[in-house]
């Protein structure tokens, strides 16, 4: 089956705009059942104007959700911050956005005492990083006695209010990994399924879990939308421009680094010559 490639920001956003699809997708990643899901008011997207007077697809992709999660003790509400990045320079952007979430006074659940909601962070990375080569990594906090090393359940208002859980999806590591249901679901990002048109994937919908096939249907719908196809083509143009600019900056930085190194070598040579001259003068004066 042909589907739109969700690595494109415009497709990713379109997929998550369907509440049912978003609940299924996010529940699968965090391993908890989301019963209610709302976009938070602080959702941010950015558009860049092209020379053709058409607006480009999203190049900065970030979504904030308020989610009610079913637990054994009842319902709890958390903030889910989801970010997707194509460049390594986006790391600092992640930090800034996370800081905004911690400072946001609306992220509370008790009007009288202003208790902080727990924050879940989900990152989709398209580039290589200094991380283990796994499709999905879960980062969780734990409590440990600094003296004995004994571990305790990481629960309670203090810990959950000041620490956050994270899930890191490494898109380039998804290839051929179908070990569990989550990896099967995330196979929609496997770029080895790309067709001659980079923004269209050819996937085996029969291998996709039945419960989650509405995700496939949503992506199929995006692929059939002429406007979405045009936006994906524009996004390719934008990304190419950004990559070219990043490459130019890297080349300039490298040239400056080589120039600085050459100057250091020159200064070192001059210093050695001055030292040799001083020693020669000293020897002649003593002679």
Query: For the chain (length 287 residues), average pLDDT per consecutive 10?
Result: 92 92 96 91 47 43 89 88 75 68 65 72 84 91 90 78 87 86 93 91 88 94 90 78 71 84 86 82 71
Residue 109: the pLDDT is: 61
Contacts (Cβ under 8 Å, ≥6 apart) of 199: 4, 5, 8, 11, 229, 232, 233, 236
Residue 136: the pLDDT is: 95
Residue 87: the pLDDT is: 65
- Torsion over CA of 62, 232, 25 and 94, rounded to 10 degrees? -20
**Residue 62 CB neighbours (<10 A):** 20
Answer whether 0.75 is exceeded by the pTM. Answer: no
C-alpha of 143 from chain center? 27
Residue 106: the pLDDT is: 65
Residue 39: the pLDDT is: 82
Residue 88: the pLDDT is: 61
Residue 68: the pLDDT is: 93
Judged by DSSP in three states, 29 sits in: helix
Backbone angles phi, psi at 99, to 5 degrees: -60, -40
Residue 168: the pLDDT is: 93
Burial class of residue 110, CB neighbours in 10 A (0-12, 13-18, 19+)? exposed
- List of long-range contacts for 243-246, beta carbons under 8 Å, 24+ apart: 246/87, 246/89
What is the distance between the alpha carbons of residues 50 and 233, in angstroms, rounded to a whole number?
12
Residue 114: the pLDDT is: 63
């Amino acid at each position: 089956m042909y589907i739109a490639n969700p690595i494109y920001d415009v497709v990713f956003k379109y997929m998550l705009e369907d509440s049912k699809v978003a609940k299924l997708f996010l529940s699968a990643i965090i391993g908890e059942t989301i019963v209610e899901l709302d976009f938070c008011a602080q959702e941010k997207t950015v558009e860049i104007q092209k020379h053709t007077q058409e607006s480009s697809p999203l190049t900065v992709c970030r979504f904030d959700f308020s989610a009610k999660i079913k637990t054994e003790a009842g319902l709890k509400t958390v903030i889910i911050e989801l970010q997707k990045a194509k460049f390594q320079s986006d790391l600092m952007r992640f930090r800034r956005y996370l800081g905004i979430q911690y400072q946001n006074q609306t992220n509370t659940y008790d009007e009288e005492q202003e208790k902080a909601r727990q924050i879940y962070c989900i990152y989709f990375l398209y580039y290589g990083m200094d991380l283990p080569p796994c499709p999905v990594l879960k980062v969780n906090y734990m409590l440990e006695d600094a003296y004995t090393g004994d571990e305790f359940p990481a629960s309670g208002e203090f810990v959950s209010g000041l620490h956050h859980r994270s899930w890191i999806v490494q898109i380039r590591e998804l290839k051929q990994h179908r070990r569990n249901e989550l990896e099967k679901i995330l196979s929609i990002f496997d770029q080895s399924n790309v067709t001659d048109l980079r923004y269209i994937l050819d996937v085996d919908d029969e291998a996709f879990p039945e419960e989650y096939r509405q995700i496939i249907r949503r992506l199929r719908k995006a692929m059939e939308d002429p406007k979405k196809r045009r936006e994906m083509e524009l996004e390719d143009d934008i990304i190419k421009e950004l990559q070219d600019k990043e490459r130019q900056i890297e080349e300039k930085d490298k040239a400056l680094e080589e120039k600085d190194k050459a100057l250091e070598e020159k200064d070192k040579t001059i210093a050695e010559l001055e030292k040799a001259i001083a020693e020669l003068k000293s020897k002649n004066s003593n002679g």
